[in-house]
Each structure stands twice: as C-alpha cells, then as structure tokens.
C-alpha cells in the first residue's frame, strides 16, 4: 500500500481530537523514550496520554516536555526528523484507533493543490508568504516523498533551478515538468533554497 513514511496530521482521525474547534493535530514521538503525543498547532493543547484523548495539557510557554520521561523538547522539534513516528511504532503503542488513512491519491491532490498556491506566491516574489505557507505542508510533502517515484530527484532539480536565478524564472522552469507530482516536488525544491536563504538572513 502506498502511504506516507510516517504518521502525519492528514492520516489522523480528526474527530478524535476536540480542543479548540480549529484542530491542527501534529503527531510525533519523544526522541528520548519513544512516547507518542499529539500537539494541536492551533491552540497548543498537548494530547499526552494517548489513546485517551482526554489526557491533555497546555504547556507553559517554552516548556515543552515529554509527559513520560520529562525530556525537554527543542523549540524546533516539529521539523526534526528524530521526532517523526512511523506507522509501525504508532501501531505498537496501540494507537491505531486514532488513524483514519485517506486514499493516497487524496493526499497527492492535497499536496499538488498546495504546491499550486506556493507556485503563485513564488512567481509574485512573495518570499515570506511562501516560506510560512510551506512550513505547514512540509511534513506532508516530505512524508510522501519516498512513496512517489522520482520525487527526490525532482526536488533536487527544483533546488538547482532556484540557484542563481530569479524566483519567477525558476518557477517557470518547473512548469516544463509535465508530471504534476514531480512538478510539485520541484516547486518544493525551490522553497527549500528559499528557506535556506531566509536562515542566512538574506
């Protein structure tokens, strides 16, 4: 079965998470002890005693800790590969009831739609908007990458397009890729370079 390489927001059963009405549940594991948790990115509610979704807390600002081992979570844990949790790990912890797996084609459509928006931002030179927007679907894109043949190469290709070129020109180069999935990963590659630039403050 084609599926993402790790548990992502889009594979959770959203009806199980009720905190703020605008739930954006981000699944992850503690890098130290493997304990699985879900953080609502909208209201900062931490579901810490899964599968019991009534066990929850809103941690203090800058005080993200694992509820099982007390390890401190780094501020950037949501983008660190060590905090991803695979479906096997998730399953072994008895959490399958929290999964609602959409067809892979639905996830692809979601990703391609997001890439289209991203393409528009890039073409207009809206760097920070593109950057912020990309942050929210980076997990989706990265988790699906190894299930889509050629995606990794397309992403590298996009990164090359973005080097030494104006954004709009790099975007137009992506347009020459006819496969919609691969075109999506090329656009993501451009954003990779953009985010690198942003980190360097340029």
- Which chain residues interact with Zn ion by CB under 5 A? 19-20, 23, 30, 32-33, 35, 40, 42-43, 45, 66, 68-69, 71
3-state SS, residue 142: helix
Shortest Cβ 46–Zn ion spacing (Å): 10
Q: Which is nearer to Zn ion, 73 or 118 (CB)?
A: 73
Task: Note whether 8 and 27 are within 8 A (CB).
Answer: yes
> Smaller CB distance to Zn ion: residue 35 or 119?
35
Residue with tokens 């030179």: 125
The CB-of-128 to Zn ion minimum distance in angstroms stands at 25
Of 9 and 139, CB closest to Zn ion: 9
Of 42 and 123, the one with the shorter C-beta distance to Zn ion is 42
Question: Minimum distance between the CB of residue 34 and Zn ion, rounded to whole angstroms?
Answer: 7
Considering the complex, state which of residue 50 and residue 154 has its C-beta at the smaller distance from Zn ion. 50
> 3-class SS at 80?
coil
User: What CA–CA distance (Å, rounded) separates 114 from 107?
Assistant: 11
CA dihedral 100, 103, 109, 115 (to 10 degrees): 60
DSSP conformational letter for 12:
B
- Do residues 78 and 8 touch, judged by C-beta distance below 8 A? no
| Cβ burial 3-16 (10 Å sphere, 16+ → b, else e) | bbebbbbbbbeeeb
For the chain, list the strands marked E by DSSP. Answer: 25-29, 36-40, 46-47, 56-57
Instruction: Assess contact for 173 and 189: CB atoms under 8 A.
Output: no
Minimal distance, residue 74 CB to Zn ion, in Å: 13
For Zn ion, the closer CB: 62 or 202: 62
Q: State the minimum distance, in angstroms, from the CB of residue 98 to Zn ion.
A: 15
Q: Considering the complex, what minimum distance in angstroms separates the CB of residue 19 from Zn ion?
A: 3
3-state helix, strand, coil in the chain (%, to 5): 50, 10, 40
């Amino acid at each position: 079965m084609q599926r993402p390489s790790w548990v992502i927001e889009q594979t959770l059963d959203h009806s199980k998470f009720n905190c703020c009405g605008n739930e954006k549940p981000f699944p992850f594991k503690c890098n130290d002890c493997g304990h699985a948790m879900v953080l609502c990115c909208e209201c900062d509610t931490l579901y810490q005693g899964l599968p019991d979704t009534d066990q929850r807390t809103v941690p203090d600002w800058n005080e993200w800790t694992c509820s099982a081992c007390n390890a401190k979570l780094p501020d950037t844990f949501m983008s660190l590969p060590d905090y991803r949790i695979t479906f096997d790990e998730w399953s072994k912890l008895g959490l399958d009831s929290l999964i609602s797996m959409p067809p892979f084609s639905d996830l692809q459509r979601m990703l391609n739609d997001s890439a289209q928006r991203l393409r528009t931002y890039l073409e207009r030179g809206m760097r920070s908007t593109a950057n912020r927007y990309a942050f929210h679907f980076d997990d989706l894109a990265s988790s699906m990458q190894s299930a889509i043949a050629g995606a990794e190469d397309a992403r590298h290709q996009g990164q090359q397009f973005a080097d030494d070129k104006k954004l709009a020109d790099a975007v137009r180069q992506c347009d020459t890729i006819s496969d919609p999935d691969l075109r999506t990963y090329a656009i993501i590659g451009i954003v990779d370079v953009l985010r690198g630039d942003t980190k360097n403050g340029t």
